[in-house]
Structure 1
Amino acid sequence: MEPTTFLYTFLLTTFLIYTALLLLRKRRTATLPPGPTGLPLVGSLPFLDPSLHTYFADLSKKHGPIFSLQLGSKLAVVISSSSLAHAVLREHDNTFANRDVPETGRLFSYGGNDIVWTPNGPTWRMLRRICVHEMLSPQSLDAVSSIRQQEIRSTVRHIHASSGNPVDIGAEMFLNVMNIVTNTMWGGTLEGDKERESVGKDFKEVVANIIDLLGRPNVSDFFPALARFDLQGIQSKMALLRDRVDNIFERMIEKKSCDEGKRTKDLLEFMLRMEREGGDSKTPFTMSHVKALLMDMFTGGTDTTAATIEWAMAELLNKPDILKKLQDELGQIVGKDKLVDESHLPKLHFLSLVIKETLRLHPPLPLLIPHCPSSPCTIDGYLIPEGTKVFINVWAIQRDPSNWTDPLEFKPERYLQQGLQRDFSGKDFDYFPFGSGRRICAGIAMAERMVGYLLATIVHSFDWKLPEGKDVDLSEKFGIVMNKAIPLVAIPTPRLSKNVLYN
């Protein structure tokens, strides 16, 4: 073969191989997940249903367990299967450990200085350690058990005074949980029932409004370039609420400083001591962190707990046989001549099954808190770009018929079956109502105690029936916290053996 012919053959072969490799590489390059076609500029925003969890569940039936949609200038990806949730929250946990911080979240958390919105890193690890190992450890929770007992027995007295009349169960539970959280945070700082009532009243109103604003769709989040204009006024409203809360925080901190020599067991005292000591050697713990964690406790621990108890009561009233079984267990373990105490909770096994099943059907945060990858990542062959808003539809996963038999039925006994012994650790990706991975909810231990103690108490202390002509309504109202669309109203009747127990 002549040198010129050989050269041409070599160059042609090289070109063909190079072209083939390019085509093969292009074919292997990950693409975005499939999804609905949106409109120019606004994407799928005009088509969003207010009930995002069911809207996303319907889209997943059409586009698959991972799909994408454009929400303004923000790309969103929705995960709706247990295997892909495992990939995001376990296999690529470090990549997806950040949050897509909404403008309202940034405002109410003092610039994102709380455990929810702080990026993964040394500061977040310090906050997590403070919450899980110090503030919400079993020892810390035991130290304030008398506060929970006092407030729950106060609620029993209040419900007893309404015997024979309709009671809004969700509202009653919200007030109780708010009082528990308030007194746990700074109960030792307040002097007398009048001051506690005044501070509690301020907080009840503000927290309800904060949770409402956090759940509202905000143009600033879909078009970050427009955030400074606050077109809907949502950020300005949140700023006003944050300032109201900040005034209360300042009052409590000032009062605590004036009583520096007085030792108390509340969590504000613990955090102020941490702030004075400056955190650890690598990460400072500032006053902004103190206030942001206080805000987390109030917004994260009130509505979620109250909503869970209300859902549990709705399901129990809808299934009288299950309600009777729970009351029978309470009768055996507690007896009708005394009130429920926290020490009874570990023995109330059927109660724990009822709570698990309630959280399966009605997870407090149906889409969890959206994650945000810190770098591009491939999931199931699809590219998830850095900065994407990633929703995990735990509501859909926990109702998936491929994971659960009779998925829409309230069946607490299902967890007695071999292989279905679920817990709240997030290790089973067909059941993770509190999330999973490093960003799993930090308040699980407190939530377990409060939900168990309150639910056991109102079921044991009273018989409940619906007002004449009313049926249980299980429709949902979507928000950052999943509440009932129609509040549960029921009529209590005392069932304990002695009237003095209610006093």
Structure 2
Amino acid sequence: MNFFITIFILIICYFLFFKKENRIRKINSKIPGPKGLPIIGNLHEFKKDPQIQFQNWYEKYGTIYSVRMGNIDSVVLTGYPIIRKAFVDNSNAFAPRFQRWSRMKLNGCKNLIGSNDELHTTLKKIVLSEMTPTRIKRMENHIVWECEKLCKVLDKHCESGLPFSLNMYCKLFSLNIIMRFLFGIDYSYENQDNQHIINIIIEFFFYGGNAIVSDFIPIIRPFYKENKFFQLYPVVCGHINQLIENYKLEKGKKPCGVDQEVSAGSGASSPHISDDGDGDNETIMGKLLEEFNNGSIGWDSLVSTCVDVFLGGTDTTSNSIIFSLIALANNPDRQDKLYDQIKNNLQMPKNELVVRHSIHRSSIPYLSLVIKEIYRLYPVSLLGLPHITTEDVEIGGYTIAKGTQIIQNIFASHKCEKTFPSPNSFIPERFIETGCNNMFGGGPTNLVHFGTGVRDCIGKSLADCEFYTLLATLINRYEFINPSTSEPLNDIGIFGVAYQPPDNQFFIKRRI
């Protein structure tokens, strides 16, 4: 009986709220795209890997097409030229975030990623003040130190001669880098408890990337049972709140040395307080607290922005590093080519193990090609973060209505056969003609992995430095070998807010 009552209610709601064509749908109706079903739109066509369906639609309908996600009218943009036209040439109309119901439920969209207008401007200014190229260069010693710590762990695995997974180590590497920018602390590689918070991050990105049906079908929200995405967010917030309290406590004391510890909370082992070494103890947390005390932001914005930086900084660059090691192990000829260029082009003292981004970047042009090819093949954000149009705007011969959700089809943009011949193959050399100086994508590279326009990735300069330094150091020091002589390592990731790399086993062999 309850089933029939539910069906009856859905039918009534369809005729009351969905059947009547609204202004957005009327304007967007001239944009090509797949036909949707009543109430659910095209949601039934999203499978395990929705990026594949978006790619198929691009191949059928072109660079601009419309889809309906429940009652949310959406337009999908594919390819650097059309994405630039929208997010650079018409930035005022396309810049704001589309604030989905699930994100509003989490934090009211008062965070850095989800906010709009003056709040976003304020939060972005705070975070960027600690992410400038000058600041990143001054923090390079921390990245070098983190590389040295990771190499000590990998050296032990070399001695064992057994294959092992690198995923957790790479994620902890990136976690420590972002924790220094946030709080001035880092975690130990030796304590297994640190895997707890990393596993939470991985799960959060996985569940957050899956379609939350109530985002798009409002009538089911009263009956919606919260999934793990909603359950994990308070756990992360609790961890961050504990770190904030520790930070405030330590700032009230005499500055700590690198060996002094504070409690991590939420199941993680104790992190170490780091010293910049240049007398500058500023952190993103310090800037956020200053603005909070000045009344510029609220406490919920402070915490949720810390969560953004904490999650995004951990599970983005680390994924790119893991994918790069998989690709190089599957293509040993290109791994050898990269190693030969590092060995022949760098004049490093014997006791210096880490390749420094600030010193050696221009000396290893092939590494720049490899990194860009990794960003192309394995973009961390497959479909970007949704935006919303603030006015009717014409793009590519079509008018997109005000209030439309806009999706950047990054995966399909990077897999376009016309732009990138043999798009599923790992070919770093494809970028030689475009030059190596544009690491961030766009322009002649046709890459959009960091997004485009005023809401592109805020941490791209740090990602560039971190990725370059660690990958160059690892390839200079180790050979990464596929244990199987018959099958390549699996390079098919898992869809989520961030594209998750598979967990492979590697043999690694010391070069030095």
2:363 matched residue in structure 1: 347
1:125 matched residue in structure 2: 121
Structure 1 pair 323–113 and aligned structure 2 pair: CA distance change class (3 A): same
Counterpart residue identity of residue 323, structure 1: Q
Query: Size of the alignment, in residue pairs?
Result: 457
Deviation at 1:454, TM superposition (A): 1.2
**Given that residues 415 and 422 in structure 1 are in contact (C-alpha distance below 8 angstroms), is that contact kept between their aligned partners in structure 2?**
no
Q: Which structure has the larger Rg?
A: 1
**Given that residues 375 and 387 in structure 1 are in contact (C-alpha distance below 8 angstroms), is that contact kept between their aligned partners in structure 2?**
yes
Matches within 5 A, 1:80-99: 80-99=78-97
Q: Give a deviation string over 1:55-113, Cα, whole Å, max 9, x none.
A: 111112222322212221112221223332222212221111111223443355x3222
2:462 matched residue in structure 1: 446
1:155 matched residue in structure 2: 150
Select 2:131's aligned residue among 112, 121, 136: 136
Structure 1 pair 437–291 and aligned structure 2 pair: CA distance change class (3 A): same
Q: Give a deviation string over 1:166-199, Cα, whole Å, max 9, x none.
A: 12122221121112222332235x8x969x9699
Counterpart residue identity of residue 510, structure 2: P
Counterpart residue identity of residue 287, structure 1: W
Q: Give a deviation string over 1:196-234, Cα, whole Å, max 9, x none.
A: 969955532432232223212112211235445433434
SS state of the match for residue 331, structure 1? helix
1:55 matched residue in structure 2: 53
CA distance in 2, matches of 1:482, 1:493: 28
Structure 1 pair 199–475 and aligned structure 2 pair: CA distance change class (3 A): closer
CA distance in 1, matches of 2:294, 2:426: 49
Q: Give a deviation string over 1:400-455, Cα, whole Å, max 9, x none.
A: 22223433332222222157864416445822210111111110110001111111
1:71 matched residue in structure 2: 69
CA distance in 2, matches of 1:301, 1:255: 24
Select 1:214's aligned residue among 204, 208, 211: 208
SS state of the match for residue 378, structure 1? strand
Select 2:333's aligned residue among 312, 321, 340: 321
2:309 matched residue in structure 1: 297
CA distance in 1, matches of 2:49, 2:309: 26
Q: Give a deviation string over 1:441-489, Cα, whole Å, max 9, x none.
A: 11011000111111112111111211144422232322221223x3232
* TM-score, reference length from structure 2: 0.81
1:307 matched residue in structure 2: 319
CA distance in 2, matches of 1:318, 1:239: 36
1:25 matched residue in structure 2: none
Matches within 5 A, 1:328-339: 328-332=340-344, 333-335=346-348, 337=350, 338-339=352-353
**Given that residues 482 and 505 in structure 2 are in contact (C-alpha distance below 8 angstroms), is that contact kept between their aligned partners in structure 1?**
yes
Counterpart residue identity of residue 146, structure 1: N
1:269 matched residue in structure 2: 286
Structure 1 pair 213–408 and aligned structure 2 pair: CA distance change class (3 A): closer
Q: Cα RMSD between the aligned structures?
A: 2.9
1:488 matched residue in structure 2: 504
CA distance in 2, matches of 1:39, 1:213: 25
SS state of the match for residue 369, structure 1? coil
Counterpart residue identity of residue 358, structure 1: I
**Given that residues 379 and 449 in structure 2 are in contact (C-alpha distance below 8 angstroms), is that contact kept between their aligned partners in structure 1?**
yes
Counterpart residue identity of residue 480, structure 1: V
2:268 matched residue in structure 1: none
CA distance in 1, matches of 2:242, 2:203: 16
2:450 matched residue in structure 1: 434
Counterpart residue identity of residue 259, structure 1: K
Residue 287 (str. 1) matches residue 303 (str. 2): no
**Given that residues 308 and 358 in structure 1 are in contact (C-alpha distance below 8 angstroms), is that contact kept between their aligned partners in structure 2?**
yes
Deviation at 1:398, TM superposition (A): 2.0
SS state of the match for residue 295, structure 1? helix
Shifted more, 441-450 versus 298-307: the winner is 298-307
SS state of the match for residue 95, structure 1? helix
SS state of the match for residue 464, structure 1? strand
Deviation at 1:238, TM superposition (A): 4.0
Deviation at 1:490, TM superposition (A): 0.9
Residue 187 (str. 1) matches residue 199 (str. 2): no
SS state of the match for residue 65, structure 2? strand
2:263 matched residue in structure 1: none
Q: Give a deviation string over 1:38-66, Cα, whole Å, max 9, x none.
A: 22211221221221111111112222322
**Given that residues 206 and 498 in structure 2 are in contact (C-alpha distance below 8 angstroms), is that contact kept between their aligned partners in structure 1?**
no
1:145 matched residue in structure 2: 140
**Given that residues 39 and 217 in structure 2 are in contact (C-alpha distance below 8 angstroms), is that contact kept between their aligned partners in structure 1?**
no
Structure 1 pair 207–473 and aligned structure 2 pair: CA distance change class (3 A): closer
SS state of the match for residue 302, structure 2? helix
Structure 1, unaligned stretches of length 5 or more?
Answer: 1-27, 279-283, 497-503
Counterpart residue identity of residue 333, structure 2: D
**Given that residues 256 and 269 in structure 1 are in contact (C-alpha distance below 8 angstroms), is that contact kept between their aligned partners in structure 2?**
no
CA distance in 2, matches of 1:53, 1:396: 8
Matches within 5 A, 1:174-253: 174-187=171-184, 200=194, 203-227=197-221, 229-234=223-228, 236-253=230-247
CA distance in 1, matches of 2:254, 2:467: 34
CA distance in 2, matches of 1:182, 1:200: 13
Matches within 5 A, 1:165-176: 165-176=162-173
**Given that residues 330 and 460 in structure 1 are in contact (C-alpha distance below 8 angstroms), is that contact kept between their aligned partners in structure 2?**
yes
CA distance in 2, matches of 1:49, 1:451: 31
CA distance in 1, matches of 2:347, 2:506: 24
SS state of the match for residue 422, structure 2? coil
CA distance in 2, matches of 1:243, 1:299: 11
CA distance in 1, matches of 2:500, 2:347: 30
Select 1:457's aligned residue among 473, 494, 501: 473
Structure 2, unaligned stretches of length 5 or more?
Answer: 1-25, 257-279
* TM-score, reference length from structure 1: 0.82
**Given that residues 104 and 234 in structure 1 are in contact (C-alpha distance below 8 angstroms), is that contact kept between their aligned partners in structure 2?**
no
SS state of the match for residue 183, structure 2? helix
Structure 1 pair 146–423 and aligned structure 2 pair: CA distance change class (3 A): closer
CA distance in 2, matches of 1:209, 1:168: 18
Counterpart residue identity of residue 455, structure 1: L
1:255 matched residue in structure 2: 249
Select 2:113's aligned residue among 116, 120, 135: 116
